[in-house]
């Protein structure tokens, strides 16, 4: 689904369920992570999380749009548009919108490997662990000012 198709869908849902026109912009925003959508107070635009549409389908998308349109229309009518307001709760119930969006299916966490680099002083045998490589000709041991040597590079699974 494209942004243009989303715009048309939001306009039709607004007319069908709220009997009011949606006169602003609706678009997908892939940067949204923790929410299904958001209504922007200053611009009156609506942004929808595309991940919810991809994972849960059109029914979930319609629910998110109804929720955001409740914020939109109540705000423009100077009525209680916040989640805590009775106006918002009543309108949401009337149009059949969800109070919260469904949770996304759990994505398997990938095993993260971090590289650990260990340097050793040739004089006092002090060991230093680093995440990035360093120039051993430029740096010396902080304890005895001896020369440093690369001892080993490990990959640690976190």
Task: Please write the tens of the pLDDT for every residue from 100-110.
Answer: 888 877 654 55
For residues 4-33, average pLDDT: 94
Task: Please write the tens of the pLDDT for every residue from 83-130.
Answer: 999 999 999 999 999 988 888 776 545 567 889 999 999 999 999 999
How far from 90 is each of 42, 72, 84, 97, 138, CA to CA, in Å?
24, 14, 11, 10, 69
Asked if residue 63 lies in contact with residue 52, where contact means CB atoms within 8 angstroms, the answer is no
Catalytic amino acids?
A: 68
What pLDDT is attached to residue 135? 94
For residues 19-33, average pLDDT: 93
pTM above 0.85, yes or no: no
């Amino acid at each position: 689904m494209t942004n243009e198709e989303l715009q048309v869908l939001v306009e039709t849902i607004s007319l069908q369920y709220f009997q009011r026109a949606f006169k602003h912009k609706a678009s997908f925003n892939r940067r949204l992570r923790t929410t299904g959508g958001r209504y922007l107070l200053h611009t009156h635009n609506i942004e929808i999380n595309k991940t919810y549409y991809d994972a849960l389908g059109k029914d979930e998308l319609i629910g998110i749009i109804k929720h955001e349109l409740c914020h939109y229309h109540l705000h423009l009518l100077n009525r209680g548009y916040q989640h805590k307001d009775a106006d918002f709760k009543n309108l949401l119930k009337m149009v059949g919108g969800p109070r919260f969006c469904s949770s996304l299916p759990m994505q398997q966490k990938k095993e993260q490997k971090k590289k650990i680099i260990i340097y050793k002083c040739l004089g006092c045998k002090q060991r230093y662990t680093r995440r990035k490589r360093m120039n051993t000709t430029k740096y010396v041991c902080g304890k005895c000012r001896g020369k440093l040597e690369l001892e080993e590079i490990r990959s640690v699974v976190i």
